[in-house]
Structure 1
Amino acid sequence: MYKRIFLSTLILINSGCFTNIEDKPKISKLIKRDDIYYMALQNTKKGEIVASFETKGLLIATYLNPIFNGRDCSICFNTDDGRYFLLGLLINGERDSRFDREGYSIDLNGLEPIELRKVDRYDPLLKEMPMVNNWCSYYIAKFPKQSGDRVLLNFKSDRFGEDSLEFLKR
């Protein structure tokens, strides 16, 4: 009995040593770090507006400039002309959350966005970003360039207050 267990264990251990050389690239792809996702995760923050122990608004913001600055990829865009953010917005009780309703707004260091474009659910950019879910509405916000090494993204509600997210320029 012990001989069979020992023999089967020995066979299993040795079978791992004799894998096909063609399988090695597949294994290395599994353990290779996804640089865009890794950088996006480092530059993603979540803000909430809470009133009466209830989340009234949720903002998931990813600062895109450090991720795509100088990178050549299919989903990249030029980050030289402004500060770009991917914003996931969820407003309590709203099926389609938008910044122009219910008194919600965003600004970057007090400046309104130059452009606020809604992102389609099937956009390839969303597949690369962390913390993407089916409940949020997603936008790409473009803000004017500013000096300084920190940016403060403010998520405001006229009725419930505000939350600020601080990002480092890299």
Structure 2
Amino acid sequence: MTVQMDGGELCSCGKRGCLETIASGKGAIRLAMERLKDPGVSSGLRRIYEENQAVTAKDVFDQAAEGDPVAREIVEEIVRYLGYGIGALCSIFNPEAIVIGGGLSNAGKMLIDPLHKYVEQFAFPATAKDTKILLAKLGNDAGVIGAGYLVAQHFNEPIEM
């Protein structure tokens, strides 16, 4: 889903400005590294990068939880774009629930609580009010568990010859 009309980052799908380039673990890392290019930026993320030569999405959310202003700015940007995307989906499809999985779902309430504000801002009022926003219970294991389930279903069905 394109959320940045001005171009944005190149996505793995080949387009620019996709939600995935911002509201994902890779997006959080990219946003952090962009902020750290400025040597004048003071942040716990800089310390983490200097110690590990890397920053993770978990580092971004952990630093935001500790009050780091740069990390908070990044989380706010992620949540705003995610809210925009979910708001659009709610307005079009009026779903009963939206389930958020993947690495960002590990942020828990830090992601979900402010997300409601943006979904309400961007979606039709009735759909925003009625749509539940939930965190996936299977996290990053959902794909593997789903594949295992499909295999199990396949072997429980009679094989036609």
Common fold: TM-score over 0.5: no
Greater strand percent: which structure? Answer: 1
TM-score (norm 1): 0.25
TM-score after normalising by structure 2: 0.26
Indicate the structure (1 or 2) with the bigger Cα radius of gyration: 1
Q: Relative contact order (C-alpha < 8 Å, sep 6+): which is higher?
A: 1
The structure richer in helix per residue is: 2
